[in-house]
C-alpha cells in the first residue's frame, strides 16, 4: 500500500460520507426532474372553460309546451332567467350558440329547429336577428370597425337583411309554431362598431317583412330604451346581470300570452 493513501479515504473526504452525498444528490436530481416534468404537464393541460348555463341542453318534461329562443348574446343573457320563470310551465330551449347575423341564421336554422330532438314540435318560437347585422366590419373582416373609417361596412346591408329575414320567416312559418319576433335592442352612445339609431332602422325593415303575417311582435327595443340607464352597460349593447333578468321578465310576459 502506498504511503499516504488509505482505501477508506479519497483526498480528505471519507468514503462513506462521499457515497452518502452522491446518493442524496442523485435523489434530489431525480425529484427535481420529476417536478419539472409534472410542471410541464400542468402547463400543457388546457384550463377547462366554464360552460355558460344558457348553453346547457335542456331535457323536456313531458306534457309541457316547447319554447325555442333564437338570438345573439342579448338572448343568451336572458335565457336562464326565462327558464327559471317558466319552470313547470314550459320547456325552454335555445341553440347552443350565438345565433349572430341573419347570414348565420340561414346557415344554422335547419339544425337549430332540431334542438332538443329532431321531429319534436315547437309551440312557440321567440326570435331575433339584428345587432350582428348592423355592426361594422373592416375592409379585411376586422370585427367592430369604426363606422365611417375607410372600407368599413355593415356586416349585413339593409337590403340583404330584408332578403335574409324573409327567407328565415318562410322557414319558421313551416314549423307551425306561434312566432314572436323580438325587436333588436338599442345601440347606446359610445358602443364600439355600431351607430346609435341603427337598431330602429333595422326594426322598421323587420316590421315590413312581417307585416300582414301571423308573426307577433315583442317590442323589447322600447322596453330596453325606456330603462337604459338602469339596465344597460355604459357604452355597450349588453346588459347587466340584473338588467338581463328584467328583459327576461318581459320575454316571459309575451311567451305566456302566446301559450294561452
Please report the pLDDT score of residue 45 as a whole number: 66
Architecture of domain 53-259 in this structure = 3-Layer(aba) Sandwich (3.40)
Residues above pLDDT 70, as percent of the chain? 82
**More reliable by pLDDT, 58 or 45:** 58
For the cut 50, the answer to whether the pLDDT of residue 23 exceeds it is no
- Given CA atoms 11, 13, 15, 20 in this order, what sign does their dihedral have? negative
Average pLDDT over residues 238-242: 98
Q: Kindly report the length of the chain.
A: 260
Q: What pLDDT band is residue 16 in, cutting at 50, 70 and 90?
A: low
pLDDT average, residue stretch 62-75: 98
Can you give the residue ranges of every domain in the chain?
A: 13-44, 53-259
Which among 145, 121, 150, 119 has a CA at the least distance from the CA of 134?
A: 145
**Predicted confidence (pLDDT) at residue 205 exceeds the cutoff of 80:** yes
Taking the C-alpha atoms of residue 76 and residue 241, their distance in angstroms, rounded to an integer, is 11
Residue 254: its pLDDT value, please?
98
Amino acid at each position: 500500500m502506498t504511503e499516504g493513501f488509505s482505501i477508506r479515504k479519497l483526498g480528505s473526504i471519507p468514503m462513506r460520507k462521499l457515497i452518502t452525498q452522491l446518493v442524496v444528490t442523485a435523489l434530489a436530481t431525480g425529484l427535481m426532474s420529476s417536478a419539472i416534468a409534472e410542471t410541464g404537464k400542468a402547463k400543457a393541460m388546457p384550463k377547462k372553460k366554464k360552460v355558460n348555463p344558457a348553453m346547457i341542453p335542456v331535457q323536456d318534461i313531458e306534457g309541457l309546451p316547447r319554447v325555442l329562443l333564437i338570438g345573439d348574446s342579448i338572448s343568451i343573457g336572458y335565457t336562464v332567467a326565462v327558464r327559471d320563470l317558466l319552470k313547470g310551465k314550459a320547456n325552454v330551449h335555445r341553440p347552443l350558440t350565438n345565433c349572430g347575423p341573419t347570414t348565420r341564421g340561414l346557415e344554422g336554422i335547419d339544425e337549430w329547429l332540431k334542438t332538443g330532438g329532431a321531429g319534436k314540435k315547437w309551440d312557440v318560437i321567440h326570435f331575433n336577428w339584428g345587432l350582428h347585422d348592423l355592426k361594422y366590419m373592416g375592409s379585411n373582416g376586422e370585427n367592430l370597425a369604426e363606422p365611417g373609417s375607410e372600407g368599413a361596412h355593415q356586416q349585413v346591408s339593409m337590403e340583404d337583411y330584408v332578403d335574409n329575414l324573409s327567407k328565415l320567416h318562410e322557414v319558421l312559418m313551416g314549423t307551425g309554431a306561434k312566432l314572436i319576433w323580438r325587436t333588436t335592442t338599442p345601440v347606446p352612445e359610445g358602443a364600439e362598431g355600431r351607430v346609435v339609431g341603427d337598431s330602429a332602422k333595422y326594426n322598421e325593415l323587420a316590421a315590413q317583412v312581417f307585416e300582414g303575417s301571423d308573426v307577433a311582435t315583442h317590442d323589447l327595443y322600447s322596453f330596453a330604451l325606456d330603462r337604459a340607464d338602469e339596465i344597460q352597460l355604459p357604452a355597450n349593447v349588453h346588459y347587466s346581470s340584473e338588467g338581463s333578468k328584467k328583459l327576461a321578465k318581459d320575454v316571459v310576459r309575451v311567451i305566456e300570452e302566446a301559450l294561452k
